[in-house]
């Protein structure tokens, strides 16, 4: 040894002593931990954990005592830690194009209510109507390790579908229909909606139909059904105005002159939403066109106020509340271990408010 002089260490230092571990403070106490509660209540941390997650397994008086300490201290468990440890985030992601002025908001409302009654919380992810950044959005969502996912519409890209399938958590697609769902599905066929509206128009003797719609996936499916059904009846010329979402009353207003320019004899318009329909209706009135005798107008969504203020409109009603509740139930069943796949067609109904 090059240097065997006595060291400066205290007398009790031992030759074999491991290097003292560097104490790295991480910024001091951030708040109450489960150990704080345990110490005050005179139990182990595990018991405190059980009080929250499995109270039946704790003796009644222990339970009571711990609960009082929890309440007195104002302790709130850290679910980031709990989720990491248990692999149960108790989080469900809801991916929706938009919740503003939208049919989806009531679906999300009841979905969220149902989920929170079952002890889950909802992470809201707004996808917009473009799918440019959907991969990024999905990364953000999956990084929270949700235990289930509600999708609005059927996922478009194969890559997305593949990824969702592979995470191995229950997925429920809503508000649309497909033969190849990722997992579960609660929705209806927009294609058939289009067909059904076309049939109504045909039954009325419509010869020169038009359509106004935003260009989101489901609206396109409705348009396709509409067009194809009309084509089978020999009608191929359809006036068409396609706009970027979100649709609105004012877009409806401006679209009518465009449709009339394409088809001066226009006698029916299928609108992508009730808002568009209201706009078209208002503009028709302004031009002295009688609805529905000269121009039939069909909307989509069956908004309550529309039925009150615009009884001349026909529309397509969908039970958004039922979709939300069913979607929640599907996920919850799976989370309880039920394994069956599940596709529910909730259908739709055409609301003819005023006899033709």
Partner DNA sequence: CTGAAAGCGCTTACAG
Nearer to its own copies, 25 or 265 (CB): 25
**Closer to DNA by Cβ: residue 53 or 258:** 53
Decide if residue 169 touches DNA (CB under 7 A).
no
Residue pair 213/193 in contact by the 8 Å Cβ criterion:
no
Give backbone dihedrals phi and psi of 219, rounded to 5 degrees, phi first: -65, -40
Tokens 């649309």 belong to residue: 176
Report the DSSP pairing between strands 343-345 and 184-187. parallel
By CB under 7 A, name the one of 68, 86, 133, 309 that touches DNA.
86
Cβ closer to its own copies: 145 or 322?
Answer: 145
How many residues at the interface with DNA, by CB under 7 A?
40
Say whether residue 142 binds DNA (CB under 7 A): no
List C-alpha distances in Å: 286 to 254, 267, 320.
Answer: 12, 16, 33
Q: What are phi and psi of 316, to 5 degrees?
A: -115, 120
Tell me whether residue 67 or residue 322 sits nearer to DNA (CB atom): 67
**Nearer to its own copies among residue 232 and residue 286 (C-beta):** 286
| Residue 291 tokens, joined | 């609805």
Nearest distance from C-beta of residue 102 to its own copies, angstroms: 7
DSSP letter at 55 equals: G
Q: Tell me the sheet residues that pair with 96.
A: 126
Is 29 a binder of DNA (CB under 7 A)?
yes
CB nearer to its own copies: pick between 162 and 237? 162
Whose structure tokens read 């609108």? 271
Q: Binding of DNA at residue 45 (CB under 7 A)?
A: yes
Sheet holding 314-317, edge to edge: 239-243, 209-214, 268-271, 296-298, 314-317, 349-352
Residue 252 contacts residue 284 (beta carbons within 8 Å): no
| 102 binds, options its own copies, DNA, none, Cβ within 5 to 8 A by partner type | its own copies
In the list its own copies, DNA, none, the entry touching 139 (Cβ below 5 to 8 angstroms by class) is its own copies
For residue 316, give the nearest of 306, 325, 308 by alpha carbon. Answer: 306
What residues between 282 and 341 interact with DNA by CB under 7 A?
none
Q: Taking contact as CB under 7 A, which single stretch among the options 27-35, 125-133, 230-238, 256-264 is the one that binds DNA?
A: 27-35
Give the binding site for DNA (CB under 7 A). Answer: 21-27, 29-35, 43-50, 52-53, 56-60, 62, 75, 77-78, 81-82, 84-88
């Amino acid at each position: 040894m090059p240097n065997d002089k006595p060291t400066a260490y205290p007398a009790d230092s031992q030759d074999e002593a491991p290097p003292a571990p560097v104490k790295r403070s991480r910024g001091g106490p951030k708040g109450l931990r489960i150990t704080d509660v345990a110490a005050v209540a005179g139990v182990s941390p595990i018991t405190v954990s059980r009080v929250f997650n499995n109270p039946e397994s704790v003796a009644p008086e222990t339970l009571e005592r711990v609960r009082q300490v929890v309440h007195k201290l104002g302790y709130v468990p850290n679910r980031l830690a709990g989720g990491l440890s248990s692999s149960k985030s108790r989080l469900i992601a809801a991916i929706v194009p938009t919740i503003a002025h939208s049919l989806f908001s009531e679906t999300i409302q009841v979905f969220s209510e149902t989920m929170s009654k079952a002890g889950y919380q909802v992470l809201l992810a707004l996808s917009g109507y473009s799918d440019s950044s959907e991969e990024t959005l999905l990364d953000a969502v999956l990084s929270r390790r949700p235990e289930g996912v509600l999708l609005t519409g059927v996922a478009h890209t194969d890559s997305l579908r593949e990824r969702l399938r592979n995470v191995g958590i229950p997925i429920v697609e809503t508000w649309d229909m497909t033969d190849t769902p990722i997992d579960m599905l609660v929705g209806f066929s927009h294609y058939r909606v289009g067909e059904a509206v076309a049939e109504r128009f045909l039954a009325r003797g419509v010869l020169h139909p038009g359509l106004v719609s935003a260009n989101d996936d489901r609206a396109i499916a409705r348009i396709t059904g509409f067009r194809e059904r009309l084509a089978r009846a020999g009608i191929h010329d359809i006036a068409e105005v396609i706009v970027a979402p979100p649709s609105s009353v004012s877009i409806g207003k401006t679209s009518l002159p465009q449709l009339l320019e394409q088809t001066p004899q226009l006698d029916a318009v299928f609108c992508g939403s009730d808002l568009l329909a209201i706009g078209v209706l208002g503009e028709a009135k302004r031009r002295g066109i009688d609805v529905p005798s000269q121009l039939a107008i069909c909307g989509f969504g069956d908004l309550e106020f529309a039925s009150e203020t615009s009884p001349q409109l026909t529309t397509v009603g969908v039970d958004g509340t039922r979709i939300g509740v069913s979607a929640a139930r599907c996920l919850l069943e799976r989370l309880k271990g039920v394994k069956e796949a599940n596709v529910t067609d909730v259908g739709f109904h055409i609301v003819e408010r005023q006899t033709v």
